Amino acid sequence: RITLKIIGNTGLYMNAMAAKAKRSLLLGGGKKTASEKKEIKHDPEAEFFAAAHRLDKGDTLLCFPAPGVKNAMATAALVTDGVKKTDVQRMIFMPQEAISVWGRPYLRMDVVRSADMNRTPDIRTRPFLPSWCAEIDIAFISPILSAQSVVALLNNAGVVCGLGDFRQEKGKGSFGTFSVVSTPDQEAAFKHLKPKRT
């Protein structure tokens, strides 16, 4: 079991599913009345707060779901010598449900296309961290996997996959990429980005 530090090379988009969206999935969406259609469709500030992955306690308020990191490592196994994707899926464990993330989130609004036939444009409001870092606790089975192979997998995941919305893995965006902290300069940058929670 090892704890690794990562530092973002490109900005990170967060996009947690909002309570309103979960309620709509559970109850179903009804047709809007004429008066409801005249209302402003989005509340940017509320959507900004709702889209952030948050921790109730700890050194930081922000986090990222740990399964997203494991999925990135599994994809990175395809370009990592000596490691199979199935090995990562079966022999790497994420003890945390969420990894702690440090950085200052900014409200960012982007035009996106819906998944309907007409590709209807919409505005999506998400937290965006231009600079960020995180600590990841990883458990693995040896001797099939070693600490060196886990570090290589995570580093490759940062290059070819990334985390969050509009990430490198999806092709169009190049956000969410990161490196495992391994140099004095990266260590200094990590310490700068990781202040105590206030």
* Residue 11 predicted with pLDDT over 70: yes
β-strand partners of 80: none
pLDDT of the residue at 16? 85
What's the CA gap between 63 and 55, in Å, rounded? 6
* Residue 91 predicted with pLDDT over 60: yes
What's the CA gap between 156 and 81, in Å, rounded? 11
Sequence-ordered alpha helix ranges (H) in the chain:
19-27, 34-38, 44-50, 66-76, 85-91, 147-160, 184-193
Average pLDDT along the chain: 86
Residue 197 contacts residue 100 (beta carbons within 8 Å): no
What's the CA gap between 48 and 128, in Å, rounded? 9
What's the CA gap between 14 and 105, in Å, rounded? 9
Contacts of 143 (CB under 8 A, 6+ apart): none
Sequence-ordered alpha helix ranges (H) in 28-138:
34-38, 44-50, 66-76, 85-91
Q: Which amino acid is at 59?
A: D
Q: Tell me how crowded residue 122 is: count the other CB atoms within 10 A of its CB.
A: 11
Tokens of 137: 């606790």
pLDDT of the residue at 39? 63
pLDDT band, very low/low/confident/very high, at 122 (cuts 50, 70, 90): confident
| Average of per-residue pLDDT across 167-184 | 91
Is cis: bond before 143, omega within 30 of 0? Answer: yes
Query: What is the gyration radius of the CA atoms in the chain, in angstroms?
Result: 19
* Residue 25 predicted with pLDDT over 50: no
| Average of per-residue pLDDT across 149-157 | 94
% the chain with pLDDT above 70: 86
- The angle subtended at Cα 146 by Cα 141 and Cα 150, nearest 5°, is 95
* Residue 195 predicted with pLDDT over 60: yes
pLDDT of the residue at 75? 94
* Residue 106 predicted with pLDDT over 70: yes
pLDDT band, very low/low/confident/very high, at 83 (cuts 50, 70, 90): confident
Lowest mean pLDDT among 77-81, 90-94, 180-184: 77-81
Q: What is the pTM of this model?
A: 0.82
* Residue 123 predicted with pLDDT over 60: yes
| Average of per-residue pLDDT across 108-136 | 86
Q: Is the dihedral of CA 183, 76, 17, 3 positive or negative?
A: negative
Higher pLDDT pick, 30 / 127: 127
